[in-house]
Structure 1
Amino acid sequence: MRKAFIQLHTAVFLAGFTGVLGRLITLNEALLVWYRLLITVLALWVIYLLKRNGRQVSMAGMARITGVGVIVALHWVSFYASIKYANVSVALVCFSAIGFFTAILEPLITRKPFNRNEMLLGLLVIAGIYLIFHFDPQYKTGIIIGLISALLASLFTVCNRILVQRYKPETVTLYQLNGGFLFLTILLPFYLHFLPASHLLPTLSDAGWLLVLALFCTVWAFNLSMNALKKISAFTVNLTYNLEPVYGIGLAFLLFREDKFLSGSFYIGLFLIIMSVVLQTWLVYKNRKRA
Protein backbone atom coordinates (compact mmCIF):
# COMPACT_ATOMS: atom_id res chain seq x y z
CA MET A 1 0.00 0.00 0.00
CA ARG A 2 2.85 2.41 0.85
CA LYS A 3 4.43 1.85 -2.58
CA ALA A 4 1.08 2.57 -4.25
CA PHE A 5 0.75 5.88 -2.37
CA ILE A 6 4.32 6.89 -3.35
CA GLN A 7 3.55 6.09 -7.00
CA LEU A 8 0.31 8.05 -6.79
CA HIS A 9 1.85 11.18 -5.27
CA THR A 10 4.74 11.11 -7.77
CA ALA A 11 2.19 10.99 -10.59
CA VAL A 12 0.26 13.88 -9.03
CA PHE A 13 3.45 15.94 -8.71
CA LEU A 14 4.21 15.38 -12.41
CA ALA A 15 0.60 16.18 -13.30
CA GLY A 16 0.97 19.51 -11.54
CA PHE A 17 3.24 20.66 -14.36
CA THR A 18 0.79 19.90 -17.18
CA GLY A 19 -1.28 23.05 -16.71
CA VAL A 20 1.82 25.25 -16.76
CA LEU A 21 3.05 23.48 -19.90
CA GLY A 22 -0.36 24.08 -21.49
CA ARG A 23 0.15 27.79 -20.96
CA LEU A 24 3.76 27.72 -22.25
CA ILE A 25 2.87 25.81 -25.43
CA THR A 26 1.37 28.23 -27.96
CA LEU A 27 -0.56 25.66 -30.01
CA ASN A 28 -4.36 25.39 -30.19
CA GLU A 29 -5.63 22.97 -27.50
CA ALA A 30 -6.59 20.24 -30.01
CA LEU A 31 -3.24 20.44 -31.80
CA LEU A 32 -1.42 20.46 -28.47
CA VAL A 33 -3.12 17.21 -27.45
CA TRP A 34 -2.59 15.66 -30.90
CA TYR A 35 1.18 16.28 -30.75
CA ARG A 36 1.24 15.12 -27.12
CA LEU A 37 -0.44 11.86 -28.09
CA LEU A 38 1.77 11.41 -31.16
CA ILE A 39 4.98 11.61 -29.10
CA THR A 40 3.50 9.54 -26.29
CA VAL A 41 2.27 6.75 -28.57
CA LEU A 42 5.64 6.52 -30.34
CA ALA A 43 7.44 6.30 -26.98
CA LEU A 44 5.03 3.65 -25.70
CA TRP A 45 5.51 1.49 -28.80
CA VAL A 46 9.29 1.64 -28.38
CA ILE A 47 8.94 0.54 -24.73
CA TYR A 48 6.45 -2.17 -25.68
CA LEU A 49 8.68 -3.61 -28.43
CA LEU A 50 11.73 -3.61 -26.15
CA LYS A 51 9.94 -5.35 -23.28
CA ARG A 52 7.57 -7.55 -25.27
CA ASN A 53 5.82 -8.56 -22.07
CA GLY A 54 2.33 -7.42 -22.97
CA ARG A 55 -0.53 -9.91 -22.78
CA GLN A 56 -2.66 -10.59 -25.82
CA VAL A 57 -5.92 -8.67 -25.71
CA SER A 58 -9.14 -9.88 -27.33
CA MET A 59 -10.95 -7.71 -29.86
CA ALA A 60 -13.71 -7.02 -27.32
CA GLY A 61 -11.13 -6.03 -24.71
CA MET A 62 -9.30 -3.83 -27.19
CA ALA A 63 -12.57 -2.08 -28.06
CA ARG A 64 -13.22 -1.34 -24.38
CA ILE A 65 -9.69 -0.04 -23.83
CA THR A 66 -9.60 2.17 -26.94
CA GLY A 67 -13.07 3.46 -26.09
CA VAL A 68 -11.72 4.77 -22.79
CA GLY A 69 -8.87 6.29 -24.82
CA VAL A 70 -11.42 8.45 -26.62
CA ILE A 71 -12.54 9.78 -23.23
CA VAL A 72 -8.90 10.52 -22.30
CA ALA A 73 -8.40 12.52 -25.52
CA LEU A 74 -11.58 14.54 -24.96
CA HIS A 75 -10.58 15.20 -21.34
CA TRP A 76 -7.19 16.56 -22.39
CA VAL A 77 -8.64 18.78 -25.12
CA SER A 78 -11.24 20.26 -22.76
CA PHE A 79 -8.64 20.71 -20.00
CA TYR A 80 -6.32 22.76 -22.22
CA ALA A 81 -9.28 24.63 -23.69
CA SER A 82 -10.17 25.65 -20.13
CA ILE A 83 -6.66 27.06 -19.71
CA LYS A 84 -6.94 29.00 -22.97
CA TYR A 85 -10.37 30.45 -22.08
CA ALA A 86 -9.51 31.18 -18.42
CA ASN A 87 -6.07 30.53 -16.95
CA VAL A 88 -3.99 27.76 -15.38
CA SER A 89 -5.28 28.36 -11.85
CA VAL A 90 -8.98 28.27 -12.75
CA ALA A 91 -8.58 25.18 -14.97
CA LEU A 92 -6.75 23.29 -12.24
CA VAL A 93 -9.32 24.19 -9.58
CA CYS A 94 -12.14 22.94 -11.84
CA PHE A 95 -10.17 19.70 -12.26
CA SER A 96 -10.67 19.11 -8.53
CA ALA A 97 -14.35 18.39 -9.18
CA ILE A 98 -13.40 14.84 -10.22
CA GLY A 99 -13.80 13.81 -6.58
CA PHE A 100 -17.46 14.82 -6.63
CA PHE A 101 -18.12 13.24 -10.03
CA THR A 102 -16.37 10.00 -9.00
CA ALA A 103 -18.48 9.75 -5.83
CA ILE A 104 -21.50 9.58 -8.16
CA LEU A 105 -20.10 7.66 -11.15
CA GLU A 106 -18.13 4.90 -9.39
CA PRO A 107 -21.16 3.44 -7.54
CA LEU A 108 -23.26 3.65 -10.72
CA ILE A 109 -20.63 1.87 -12.84
CA THR A 110 -19.30 -0.67 -10.31
CA ARG A 111 -22.67 -1.10 -8.53
CA LYS A 112 -21.16 -0.58 -5.11
CA PRO A 113 -23.11 1.40 -2.45
CA PHE A 114 -22.85 5.19 -2.40
CA ASN A 115 -20.40 6.46 0.22
CA ARG A 116 -21.78 9.32 2.30
CA ASN A 117 -18.33 10.65 3.24
CA GLU A 118 -17.20 10.68 -0.39
CA MET A 119 -20.33 12.59 -1.40
CA LEU A 120 -19.85 15.18 1.36
CA LEU A 121 -16.17 15.70 0.53
CA GLY A 122 -17.02 15.99 -3.14
CA LEU A 123 -19.63 18.63 -2.33
CA LEU A 124 -17.00 20.55 -0.37
CA VAL A 125 -14.94 20.76 -3.57
CA ILE A 126 -17.99 21.87 -5.55
CA ALA A 127 -18.62 24.60 -2.96
CA GLY A 128 -15.07 25.83 -3.49
CA ILE A 129 -15.53 25.92 -7.25
CA TYR A 130 -18.88 27.72 -6.85
CA LEU A 131 -17.21 30.49 -4.86
CA ILE A 132 -14.73 31.03 -7.67
CA PHE A 133 -17.44 30.89 -10.34
CA HIS A 134 -19.81 33.20 -8.44
CA PHE A 135 -17.31 35.96 -7.78
CA ASP A 136 -15.23 35.64 -10.97
CA PRO A 137 -17.82 35.59 -13.82
CA GLN A 138 -15.15 36.61 -16.35
CA TYR A 139 -13.98 32.98 -16.30
CA LYS A 140 -17.45 31.52 -16.95
CA THR A 141 -16.60 29.77 -20.25
CA GLY A 142 -13.31 28.41 -18.93
CA ILE A 143 -15.00 27.09 -15.76
CA ILE A 144 -17.78 25.32 -17.69
CA ILE A 145 -15.24 23.66 -20.01
CA GLY A 146 -13.09 22.81 -16.98
CA LEU A 147 -16.00 21.07 -15.25
CA ILE A 148 -16.68 19.04 -18.40
CA SER A 149 -13.01 18.07 -18.37
CA ALA A 150 -13.30 16.97 -14.73
CA LEU A 151 -16.36 14.84 -15.51
CA LEU A 152 -14.48 13.10 -18.33
CA ALA A 153 -11.42 12.60 -16.09
CA SER A 154 -13.59 10.99 -13.43
CA LEU A 155 -15.20 8.67 -15.98
CA PHE A 156 -11.94 7.38 -17.43
CA THR A 157 -10.40 6.88 -13.97
CA VAL A 158 -13.31 4.71 -12.85
CA CYS A 159 -13.12 2.75 -16.12
CA ASN A 160 -9.35 2.34 -15.73
CA ARG A 161 -9.79 0.85 -12.27
CA ILE A 162 -11.86 -1.91 -13.89
CA LEU A 163 -9.43 -2.39 -16.78
CA VAL A 164 -6.26 -2.71 -14.66
CA GLN A 165 -7.85 -5.62 -12.78
CA ARG A 166 -7.93 -7.54 -16.08
CA TYR A 167 -4.92 -6.29 -18.06
CA LYS A 168 -1.38 -5.06 -17.37
CA PRO A 169 -1.27 -1.27 -16.85
CA GLU A 170 1.31 -0.92 -19.64
CA THR A 171 -1.00 -2.73 -22.08
CA VAL A 172 -3.97 -0.58 -21.07
CA THR A 173 -1.95 2.63 -21.47
CA LEU A 174 -0.61 1.59 -24.89
CA TYR A 175 -3.94 0.68 -26.49
CA GLN A 176 -5.82 3.43 -24.69
CA LEU A 177 -3.64 6.27 -25.93
CA ASN A 178 -3.47 4.72 -29.40
CA GLY A 179 -7.26 4.84 -29.44
CA GLY A 180 -7.24 8.45 -28.28
CA PHE A 181 -4.69 9.40 -30.94
CA LEU A 182 -6.64 7.77 -33.78
CA PHE A 183 -9.89 9.37 -32.61
CA LEU A 184 -8.33 12.83 -32.40
CA THR A 185 -6.65 12.41 -35.80
CA ILE A 186 -10.12 11.88 -37.31
CA LEU A 187 -11.69 14.69 -35.27
CA LEU A 188 -8.93 17.27 -35.79
CA PRO A 189 -9.88 18.51 -39.32
CA PHE A 190 -13.46 19.17 -38.19
CA TYR A 191 -12.28 20.81 -34.96
CA LEU A 192 -9.92 23.14 -36.81
CA HIS A 193 -12.62 23.98 -39.34
CA PHE A 194 -14.86 25.42 -36.62
CA LEU A 195 -12.04 26.63 -34.33
CA PRO A 196 -9.13 27.60 -36.62
CA ALA A 197 -5.61 27.69 -35.19
CA SER A 198 -3.13 30.52 -35.75
CA HIS A 199 -0.40 27.98 -36.62
CA LEU A 200 -0.29 24.21 -37.15
CA LEU A 201 3.37 23.40 -36.48
CA PRO A 202 5.01 23.76 -33.06
CA THR A 203 7.79 26.30 -32.56
CA LEU A 204 11.19 25.13 -31.32
CA SER A 205 10.28 25.95 -27.71
CA ASP A 206 6.87 24.27 -28.17
CA ALA A 207 8.64 21.10 -29.34
CA GLY A 208 10.81 21.04 -26.23
CA TRP A 209 7.88 21.52 -23.87
CA LEU A 210 5.87 18.89 -25.77
CA LEU A 211 8.65 16.34 -25.17
CA VAL A 212 8.58 17.08 -21.44
CA LEU A 213 4.77 16.89 -21.42
CA ALA A 214 4.63 13.61 -23.35
CA LEU A 215 7.53 11.65 -21.85
CA PHE A 216 7.56 12.72 -18.21
CA CYS A 217 4.07 14.08 -17.49
CA THR A 218 2.24 11.49 -19.61
CA VAL A 219 4.10 8.20 -20.14
CA TRP A 220 5.70 7.98 -16.72
CA ALA A 221 2.88 9.62 -14.75
CA PHE A 222 0.21 7.55 -16.50
CA ASN A 223 1.90 4.25 -15.64
CA LEU A 224 2.46 5.32 -12.03
CA SER A 225 -1.21 6.18 -11.51
CA MET A 226 -2.38 2.99 -13.24
CA ASN A 227 -0.22 0.87 -10.93
CA ALA A 228 -1.55 2.78 -7.91
CA LEU A 229 -5.13 1.98 -8.97
CA LYS A 230 -4.44 -1.71 -8.29
CA LYS A 231 -4.29 -1.02 -4.55
CA ILE A 232 -6.18 2.26 -4.07
CA SER A 233 -9.82 3.11 -4.83
CA ALA A 234 -10.65 5.35 -7.78
CA PHE A 235 -12.17 7.93 -5.41
CA THR A 236 -9.00 8.16 -3.29
CA VAL A 237 -6.88 8.45 -6.45
CA ASN A 238 -9.07 11.24 -7.79
CA LEU A 239 -9.19 13.07 -4.46
CA THR A 240 -5.40 12.84 -4.16
CA TYR A 241 -5.22 14.35 -7.64
CA ASN A 242 -6.85 17.40 -6.04
CA LEU A 243 -3.29 18.20 -4.91
CA GLU A 244 -2.47 18.79 -8.58
CA PRO A 245 -3.89 22.35 -8.43
CA VAL A 246 -1.66 23.11 -5.43
CA TYR A 247 1.48 22.34 -7.45
CA GLY A 248 0.18 23.84 -10.68
CA ILE A 249 -1.26 27.00 -9.13
CA GLY A 250 1.95 27.59 -7.18
CA LEU A 251 3.93 27.41 -10.42
CA ALA A 252 1.39 29.61 -12.23
CA PHE A 253 1.70 32.24 -9.50
CA LEU A 254 5.49 32.07 -9.69
CA LEU A 255 5.90 32.01 -13.48
CA PHE A 256 2.87 33.95 -14.76
CA ARG A 257 1.90 36.03 -11.70
CA GLU A 258 -1.72 34.87 -11.99
CA ASP A 259 -2.26 35.82 -8.35
CA LYS A 260 -2.61 39.43 -9.52
CA PHE A 261 -5.78 38.57 -11.47
CA LEU A 262 -7.60 36.47 -8.85
CA SER A 263 -10.03 37.70 -6.18
CA GLY A 264 -10.22 36.75 -2.51
CA SER A 265 -13.02 34.29 -3.27
CA PHE A 266 -10.55 32.23 -5.30
CA TYR A 267 -8.42 31.64 -2.22
CA ILE A 268 -11.45 30.75 -0.08
CA GLY A 269 -12.52 28.21 -2.71
CA LEU A 270 -8.99 26.81 -2.92
CA PHE A 271 -8.93 26.46 0.89
CA LEU A 272 -12.13 24.37 0.80
CA ILE A 273 -10.61 22.10 -1.85
CA ILE A 274 -7.42 21.59 0.18
CA MET A 275 -9.57 20.84 3.24
CA SER A 276 -11.34 18.06 1.31
CA VAL A 277 -7.96 16.45 0.57
CA VAL A 278 -6.85 16.70 4.21
CA LEU A 279 -10.13 15.23 5.49
CA GLN A 280 -10.07 12.35 2.98
CA THR A 281 -6.48 11.49 3.94
CA TRP A 282 -7.47 11.50 7.61
CA LEU A 283 -10.49 9.26 6.94
CA VAL A 284 -8.39 6.77 4.94
CA TYR A 285 -5.83 6.38 7.72
CA LYS A 286 -8.58 6.22 10.36
CA ASN A 287 -10.34 3.40 8.51
CA ARG A 288 -7.04 1.53 8.04
CA LYS A 289 -6.37 1.66 11.80
CA ARG A 290 -9.83 0.26 12.51
CA ALA A 291 -9.22 -2.57 10.04
Structure 2
Amino acid sequence: MQQKTHFTNLLEINLAMFFISTSGALGRYIDMPVPVIIGFRALFAAFFLYAYCRWKNISISIAPKDRTGIVLSGILMGAHWITYFYALKLSNVAIGMLSIFTYPILTAFLEPLILKTRFQKMHLLLALLVLLGIYFLVPDFDLDNSYTKAVCFGVFSALCYAIRNLITKTKVKSYHGSTLMWYQLVVISIGLLPLLFVLDSSGISGQWLPVVTLALLTTAIGHTLYVLSFKKFSITTASILGSVQPIYGILIGVVFLNEIPSLSTIIGGALILTAVVIESVRTYK
Protein backbone atom coordinates (compact mmCIF):
# COMPACT_ATOMS: atom_id res chain seq x y z
CA MET A 1 0.00 0.00 0.00
CA GLN A 2 2.82 2.39 0.91
CA GLN A 3 4.62 1.62 -2.36
CA LYS A 4 1.42 2.20 -4.35
CA THR A 5 0.79 5.51 -2.56
CA HIS A 6 4.33 6.68 -3.20
CA PHE A 7 4.06 5.73 -6.88
CA THR A 8 0.77 7.66 -7.12
CA ASN A 9 2.38 10.73 -5.52
CA LEU A 10 5.28 10.58 -7.97
CA LEU A 11 2.85 10.14 -10.88
CA GLU A 12 0.81 13.17 -9.79
CA ILE A 13 3.83 15.47 -9.49
CA ASN A 14 5.11 14.32 -12.90
CA LEU A 15 1.69 14.99 -14.41
CA ALA A 16 1.78 18.44 -12.81
CA MET A 17 5.22 19.05 -14.31
CA PHE A 18 4.06 17.98 -17.76
CA PHE A 19 1.09 20.37 -17.65
CA ILE A 20 3.21 23.25 -16.31
CA SER A 21 5.89 22.59 -18.95
CA THR A 22 3.44 23.61 -21.69
CA SER A 23 4.06 27.20 -20.54
CA GLY A 24 7.35 27.26 -22.48
CA ALA A 25 5.91 26.61 -25.92
CA LEU A 26 2.78 28.67 -25.19
CA GLY A 27 4.84 31.59 -23.88
CA ARG A 28 6.86 31.59 -27.10
CA TYR A 29 3.80 31.13 -29.32
CA ILE A 30 1.40 33.75 -27.90
CA ASP A 31 2.15 37.12 -29.54
CA MET A 32 1.11 39.76 -27.00
CA PRO A 33 2.93 41.92 -24.41
CA VAL A 34 4.06 39.76 -21.48
CA PRO A 35 1.99 41.57 -18.77
CA VAL A 36 -1.10 41.15 -20.99
CA ILE A 37 -0.48 37.41 -21.42
CA ILE A 38 -0.03 36.93 -17.67
CA GLY A 39 -3.04 39.12 -16.90
CA PHE A 40 -5.38 37.08 -19.11
CA ARG A 41 -3.77 33.87 -17.86
CA ALA A 42 -4.52 34.78 -14.25
CA LEU A 43 -8.05 36.01 -14.97
CA PHE A 44 -9.13 32.91 -16.89
CA ALA A 45 -7.41 30.52 -14.47
CA ALA A 46 -9.05 32.24 -11.49
CA PHE A 47 -12.45 31.73 -13.13
CA PHE A 48 -11.74 28.03 -13.78
CA LEU A 49 -10.51 27.41 -10.24
CA TYR A 50 -13.42 29.26 -8.67
CA ALA A 51 -15.85 27.11 -10.67
CA TYR A 52 -13.95 23.99 -9.56
CA CYS A 53 -14.04 25.02 -5.89
CA ARG A 54 -17.78 25.63 -6.08
CA TRP A 55 -18.34 22.29 -7.81
CA LYS A 56 -16.30 20.38 -5.21
CA ASN A 57 -17.59 22.46 -2.28
CA ILE A 58 -14.04 23.56 -1.42
CA SER A 59 -14.02 26.46 1.03
CA ILE A 60 -12.27 29.61 -0.17
CA SER A 61 -12.35 31.39 3.17
CA ILE A 62 -9.04 32.19 4.83
CA ALA A 63 -8.16 33.37 8.33
CA PRO A 64 -7.11 37.04 8.72
CA LYS A 65 -3.71 35.98 10.10
CA ASP A 66 -2.91 34.18 6.81
CA ARG A 67 -3.92 36.95 4.41
CA THR A 68 -0.58 38.76 4.34
CA GLY A 69 1.34 35.59 3.52
CA ILE A 70 -1.10 34.54 0.81
CA VAL A 71 -1.10 38.01 -0.79
CA LEU A 72 2.71 38.06 -0.73
CA SER A 73 2.81 34.62 -2.36
CA GLY A 74 0.50 35.93 -5.09
CA ILE A 75 2.79 38.92 -5.75
CA LEU A 76 5.81 36.62 -5.94
CA MET A 77 3.97 34.24 -8.27
CA GLY A 78 3.08 37.14 -10.57
CA ALA A 79 6.70 38.36 -10.60
CA HIS A 80 7.85 34.79 -11.33
CA TRP A 81 5.52 34.43 -14.31
CA ILE A 82 6.31 37.85 -15.81
CA THR A 83 10.10 37.52 -15.61
CA TYR A 84 9.90 33.91 -16.81
CA PHE A 85 7.92 34.92 -19.91
CA TYR A 86 10.40 37.73 -20.62
CA ALA A 87 13.12 35.08 -20.47
CA LEU A 88 11.17 33.00 -23.01
CA LYS A 89 10.65 35.96 -25.34
CA LEU A 90 14.35 36.87 -25.23
CA SER A 91 15.61 33.35 -25.98
CA ASN A 92 13.89 30.02 -26.63
CA VAL A 93 12.01 27.32 -24.75
CA ALA A 94 15.19 25.56 -23.56
CA ILE A 95 16.97 28.67 -22.23
CA GLY A 96 13.81 30.22 -20.81
CA MET A 97 12.72 27.12 -18.94
CA LEU A 98 16.11 25.92 -17.80
CA SER A 99 17.26 29.27 -16.43
CA ILE A 100 14.46 29.20 -13.85
CA PHE A 101 15.61 25.79 -12.67
CA THR A 102 18.15 27.38 -10.43
CA TYR A 103 15.19 27.47 -8.02
CA PRO A 104 15.84 23.99 -6.55
CA ILE A 105 19.29 25.25 -5.53
CA LEU A 106 17.85 28.43 -4.06
CA THR A 107 15.19 26.39 -2.28
CA ALA A 108 17.77 24.05 -0.75
CA PHE A 109 19.46 27.07 0.84
CA LEU A 110 16.29 28.97 1.78
CA GLU A 111 14.16 26.15 3.22
CA PRO A 112 16.25 25.65 6.39
CA LEU A 113 16.25 29.43 6.95
CA ILE A 114 12.54 30.06 6.36
CA LEU A 115 10.93 26.80 7.52
CA LYS A 116 13.58 25.99 10.15
CA THR A 117 14.14 22.50 8.73
CA ARG A 118 17.37 20.57 9.00
CA PHE A 119 19.79 21.24 6.15
CA GLN A 120 20.49 18.04 4.19
CA LYS A 121 23.83 17.76 2.43
CA MET A 122 22.34 15.36 -0.13
CA HIS A 123 19.89 18.04 -1.27
CA LEU A 124 22.81 20.35 -1.90
CA LEU A 125 24.60 17.70 -3.92
CA LEU A 126 21.49 16.96 -5.99
CA ALA A 127 20.90 20.67 -6.52
CA LEU A 128 24.49 21.02 -7.73
CA LEU A 129 23.86 18.13 -10.14
CA VAL A 130 20.86 20.04 -11.50
CA LEU A 131 23.04 23.15 -11.81
CA LEU A 132 25.64 21.16 -13.75
CA GLY A 133 22.85 20.01 -16.07
CA ILE A 134 21.78 23.60 -16.62
CA TYR A 135 25.40 24.57 -17.35
CA PHE A 136 25.37 22.22 -20.33
CA LEU A 137 22.00 23.54 -21.50
CA VAL A 138 22.78 27.26 -21.39
CA PRO A 139 24.91 28.72 -24.22
CA ASP A 140 28.07 30.77 -23.68
CA PHE A 141 27.45 33.85 -21.57
CA ASP A 142 27.74 37.18 -23.36
CA LEU A 143 26.56 40.34 -21.62
CA ASP A 144 25.62 41.89 -24.97
CA ASN A 145 23.22 39.21 -26.19
CA SER A 146 19.58 38.56 -25.38
CA TYR A 147 20.31 35.08 -24.02
CA THR A 148 22.29 36.52 -21.11
CA LYS A 149 19.42 38.86 -20.32
CA ALA A 150 17.05 35.91 -20.54
CA VAL A 151 19.12 33.96 -18.01
CA CYS A 152 19.14 36.96 -15.65
CA PHE A 153 15.35 37.20 -15.88
CA GLY A 154 15.15 33.45 -15.36
CA VAL A 155 17.29 33.44 -12.22
CA PHE A 156 15.27 36.29 -10.68
CA SER A 157 12.11 34.38 -11.63
CA ALA A 158 13.55 31.34 -9.86
CA LEU A 159 14.17 33.34 -6.68
CA CYS A 160 10.56 34.59 -6.65
CA TYR A 161 9.28 31.07 -7.27
CA ALA A 162 11.40 29.53 -4.52
CA ILE A 163 10.22 32.02 -1.89
CA ARG A 164 6.61 31.69 -3.06
CA ASN A 165 6.77 27.90 -2.72
CA LEU A 166 8.20 28.14 0.78
CA ILE A 167 5.47 30.55 1.89
CA THR A 168 2.79 28.34 0.32
CA LYS A 169 4.25 25.30 2.08
CA THR A 170 3.38 26.89 5.44
CA LYS A 171 -0.29 27.13 4.39
CA VAL A 172 -0.99 23.76 2.74
CA LYS A 173 -1.88 22.05 6.02
CA SER A 174 -4.62 24.59 6.67
CA TYR A 175 -6.07 25.13 3.17
CA HIS A 176 -6.79 23.17 0.03
CA GLY A 177 -4.29 23.66 -2.80
CA SER A 178 -7.03 25.03 -5.08
CA THR A 179 -7.91 27.70 -2.50
CA LEU A 180 -4.31 28.86 -2.17
CA MET A 181 -3.81 28.93 -5.93
CA TRP A 182 -7.09 30.81 -6.46
CA TYR A 183 -6.11 33.60 -4.07
CA GLN A 184 -2.73 33.95 -5.75
CA LEU A 185 -4.45 34.22 -9.13
CA VAL A 186 -6.81 36.87 -7.77
CA VAL A 187 -3.85 38.93 -6.50
CA ILE A 188 -2.13 38.67 -9.90
CA SER A 189 -5.37 39.55 -11.75
CA ILE A 190 -5.98 42.65 -9.63
CA GLY A 191 -2.39 43.79 -10.04
CA LEU A 192 -2.31 43.38 -13.83
CA LEU A 193 -5.90 44.32 -14.71
CA PRO A 194 -5.08 48.04 -15.33
CA LEU A 195 -2.36 47.03 -17.81
CA LEU A 196 -4.91 45.18 -19.95
CA PHE A 197 -6.40 48.60 -20.77
CA VAL A 198 -3.05 50.41 -21.14
CA LEU A 199 -1.09 47.90 -23.25
CA ASP A 200 -2.20 46.39 -26.56
CA SER A 201 -4.49 43.48 -25.68
CA SER A 202 -6.31 43.29 -29.03
CA GLY A 203 -4.43 40.09 -29.89
CA ILE A 204 -6.63 38.09 -27.51
CA SER A 205 -9.36 37.91 -30.16
CA GLY A 206 -7.16 35.75 -32.39
CA GLN A 207 -5.22 33.91 -29.68
CA TRP A 208 -7.88 33.08 -27.12
CA LEU A 209 -7.41 29.31 -27.53
CA PRO A 210 -3.69 29.16 -26.54
CA VAL A 211 -4.37 31.67 -23.74
CA VAL A 212 -7.24 29.55 -22.39
CA THR A 213 -5.01 26.47 -22.65
CA LEU A 214 -2.34 28.33 -20.68
CA ALA A 215 -4.93 29.29 -18.06
CA LEU A 216 -6.70 25.93 -17.73
CA LEU A 217 -4.13 23.20 -18.43
CA THR A 218 -0.89 24.91 -17.40
CA THR A 219 -2.16 27.02 -14.51
CA ALA A 220 -5.46 25.87 -13.01
CA ILE A 221 -4.67 22.14 -13.29
CA GLY A 222 -0.86 21.99 -13.39
CA HIS A 223 -0.03 24.46 -10.65
CA THR A 224 -2.81 23.21 -8.38
CA LEU A 225 -1.49 19.65 -8.64
CA TYR A 226 1.97 20.97 -7.83
CA VAL A 227 0.74 22.85 -4.75
CA LEU A 228 -1.05 19.68 -3.59
CA SER A 229 2.27 17.83 -3.81
CA PHE A 230 3.62 20.11 -1.05
CA LYS A 231 1.61 18.01 1.41
CA LYS A 232 3.46 14.87 0.34
CA PHE A 233 7.02 16.12 -0.20
CA SER A 234 9.29 18.76 1.30
CA ILE A 235 9.65 21.89 -0.85
CA THR A 236 13.24 21.00 -1.73
CA THR A 237 12.20 17.45 -2.71
CA ALA A 238 9.29 18.78 -4.79
CA SER A 239 11.65 21.27 -6.44
CA ILE A 240 14.20 18.62 -7.38
CA LEU A 241 11.51 16.20 -8.59
CA GLY A 242 10.09 19.11 -10.59
CA SER A 243 13.39 19.43 -12.44
CA VAL A 244 11.98 17.05 -15.04
CA GLN A 245 9.79 19.95 -16.22
CA PRO A 246 12.36 21.43 -18.67
CA ILE A 247 12.74 18.04 -20.33
CA TYR A 248 9.01 17.90 -20.99
CA GLY A 249 9.05 21.53 -22.12
CA ILE A 250 11.92 21.02 -24.55
CA LEU A 251 10.20 17.97 -26.07
CA ILE A 252 7.00 20.00 -26.52
CA GLY A 253 9.11 22.76 -28.14
CA VAL A 254 10.58 20.22 -30.56
CA VAL A 255 7.15 18.93 -31.60
CA PHE A 256 5.26 22.23 -31.87
CA LEU A 257 7.96 24.87 -32.51
CA ASN A 258 10.64 22.76 -34.20
CA GLU A 259 13.27 23.93 -31.67
CA ILE A 260 15.75 21.06 -31.90
CA PRO A 261 18.00 20.65 -28.82
CA SER A 262 21.77 20.38 -29.23
CA LEU A 263 24.02 17.63 -27.86
CA SER A 264 24.79 19.75 -24.81
CA THR A 265 21.04 20.04 -24.19
CA ILE A 266 20.74 16.25 -24.20
CA ILE A 267 23.67 15.93 -21.76
CA GLY A 268 22.18 18.54 -19.45
CA GLY A 269 18.79 16.89 -19.56
CA ALA A 270 20.33 13.54 -18.65
CA LEU A 271 22.01 15.09 -15.58
CA ILE A 272 18.76 16.67 -14.46
CA LEU A 273 16.86 13.41 -14.89
CA THR A 274 19.54 11.63 -12.85
CA ALA A 275 18.89 13.99 -9.94
CA VAL A 276 15.14 13.35 -10.26
CA VAL A 277 15.59 9.55 -10.18
CA ILE A 278 17.92 9.71 -7.16
CA GLU A 279 15.53 11.91 -5.21
CA SER A 280 12.57 9.68 -6.15
CA VAL A 281 14.36 6.67 -4.67
CA ARG A 282 15.35 8.64 -1.56
CA THR A 283 11.79 9.84 -0.87
CA TYR A 284 10.46 6.29 -1.16
CA LYS A 285 13.04 4.96 1.30
Number of aligned residue pairs: 277
Which residue in 1 is equivalent to 2:132? 127
Which residue in 2 is equivalent to 1:9? 14
Instruction: Measure how far apart 1:100 and its partner are.
Output: 0.7
| Residue 114 (1) aligns with residue 119 (2) | yes
SS of the counterpart of 1:97? helix
Instruction: Measure how far apart 1:133 and its partner are.
Output: 4.1
Amino acid at match of 1:74: A
Distance 1:189 1:44, change over 3 A: closer
Which residue in 2 is equivalent to 1:283? 282
Distance 1:67 1:93, change over 3 A: same
Alignment equivalent of 1:104, drawn from 106, 109, 120 = 109
Instruction: Measure how far apart 1:155 and its partner are.
Output: 1.4
Percent identity of equivalent pairs = 26
What pairs up with 1:51-90 in 2 under 5 angstroms? 51-54=56-59, 56-90=61-95
Tell me how large the CA RMSD over aligned residues is. 2.2
Instruction: Measure how far apart 1:142 and its partner are.
Output: 0.7
Moved more, 239-248 or 217-226: 217-226
Which residue in 2 is equivalent to 1:147? 155
Instruction: Measure how far apart 1:94 and its partner are.
Output: 1.5
Matched-pair contact (CA < 8 Å) for 1:86–1:142: yes
Which residue in 2 is equivalent to 1:274? 273
TM-score normalised by structure 1 residue count: 0.87
Moved more, 103-112 or 118-127: 118-127
* Separation of aligned partners in 2, 1:116 and 1:178: 38
| Residue 177 (1) aligns with residue 204 (2) | no
* Separation of aligned partners in 1, 2:11 and 2:264: 32
Which residue in 2 is equivalent to 1:94? 99
Matched-pair contact (CA < 8 Å) for 1:106–1:158: yes
Moved more, 55-64 or 145-154: 55-64
Moved more, 76-85 or 130-139: 130-139
Which residue in 2 is equivalent to 1:221? 222
* Separation of aligned partners in 1, 2:262 and 2:166: 34
Which residue in 2 is equivalent to 1:206? 207
Matched-pair contact (CA < 8 Å) for 2:98–2:246: yes
Matched-pair contact (CA < 8 Å) for 1:93–1:270: no
Instruction: Measure how far apart 1:97 and its partner are.
Output: 1.6
| Residue 236 (1) aligns with residue 237 (2) | yes
Which residue in 2 is equivalent to 1:249? 250
Matched-pair contact (CA < 8 Å) for 1:66–1:177: no
* Separation of aligned partners in 2, 1:14 and 1:234: 19
Alignment equivalent of 1:166, drawn from 163, 174, 181 = 174
* Separation of aligned partners in 2, 1:277 and 1:140: 27
* Separation of aligned partners in 1, 2:167 and 2:228: 14
